[in-house]
Structure 1
């Protein structure tokens, strides 16, 4: 698979990711939800960029996370370039492209959103605001995709969680996260094609 096609995948995912995030930021009040179907909703939240909205270390932790991601994206970019040069399987190159695009999408939020958006109380954000909500490298990641496929109470016979309310799937994520998840699923399903083992050949003297 040529590098141009990999770049096309990356650019396409980034455009969809950033357009959806900017639309949500400038049209939704924080916490606002639109029910598309019972099992699919658009729900606007933000987080500091860690999985499941986790946080650690305050401002220092946020800065460390963003800088770590910048180094990681450089490594992923090299992995992609090297895989293309080695004529790796299409599945691997597509997966790396999706991972790169997903990581870059969330890095853009973390690095730039704090200096281009404001966060008005009970109002929608302004793009290129005069008084942005944060600083460079301290932006928050925008999430909006919510799939509460099942809501109910778990059976009493289950240990620990029995009898408690439960929602599957209760994570709220974005297009960038979806791209990374899709890549991981591809690599798991097509592991043997993505990472073929070199056949050992015997040399007959």
Structure 2
């Protein structure tokens, strides 16, 4: 696969990711949600987080900055991996996987770096793009998530160890296009491992 095609994948994923995030941020307030096509298991549910999986945070006043800088360095490394894989004519499975992971990581970095100085807050109101009074500073933006698939909710059987009798929702994560791209990229590497790491 050529570098042009790999870059096209990255650009398309980035555009879809950012357009969806900007739309949600400028049309919903934080916590607002609705059912897609009236389906209870497919919702658009707008939340924001500091950028780590499952809403986790690095403690301390510089935790968010450390996370953002680490991600920028990681994206540089992934970008080099993509370029090197194309140069060495590696498997298209590997190149597509790296392109998806790169696009996803870069998409969430855009939120973290720039959203704090572009938007005002979304708490109880719909955010304004290019606001006069943005909610944060450079490198301290929040990542926008919106896709929610609570496929099943209910109390688990009491006989189950550890979680027995507890209320449980599957699938409980709220994510965005960038997260999905990373997950699909990693999934390809796992499922098609031999093809991905074999020569083209």
> Do these two structures clear the TM 0.5 threshold for a shared fold by scoring above it?
yes
Give the structure 2 partner of residue 195 of structure 1: 197
Q: Describe how 1:15-54 pairs up with structure 2 within 5 A.
A: 15-36=15-36, 37-54=39-56
Q: Gapped runs of 5+ residues in structure 2?
A: none
Instruction: Mark the structure with the bigger radius of gyration.
Output: 1
Distance (Å, rounded) in 2 between the aligned partners of 1:106 and 1:63: 14
Distance (Å, rounded) in 1 between the aligned partners of 2:9 and 2:32: 31
1:96 corresponds, among 76, 95, 98, to 98
In the TM superposition, residue 196 of structure 1 has moved relative to its aligned partner by 2.4
Q: Alignment partner of 1:44: what SS?
A: strand
Q: 2:121, 2:127 within 8 Å by CA — same for their partners in 1? A: yes
In the TM superposition, residue 120 of structure 1 has moved relative to its aligned partner by 5.0
Distance (Å, rounded) in 2 between the aligned partners of 1:86 and 1:179: 24
Q: Describe how 1:54-93 pairs up with structure 2 within 5 A.
A: 54-93=56-95
In the TM superposition, residue 88 of structure 1 has moved relative to its aligned partner by 0.5
What RMSD in Å do the two structures reach over aligned CA positions? 1.0
In the TM superposition, residue 58 of structure 1 has moved relative to its aligned partner by 3.2
Q: Structure 2 length as normaliser, TM-score?
A: 0.96
Q: Which runs of 4+ in 1 moved over 4 A?
A: none
Distance (Å, rounded) in 2 between the aligned partners of 1:13 and 1:83: 20
Q: Structure 1 length as normaliser, TM-score?
A: 0.94
Q: Deviations over 1:15-53 (max 9, x none)?
A: 000000000000001100111122110000000000000
In the TM superposition, residue 121 of structure 1 has moved relative to its aligned partner by 4.3
In the TM superposition, residue 159 of structure 1 has moved relative to its aligned partner by 1.5
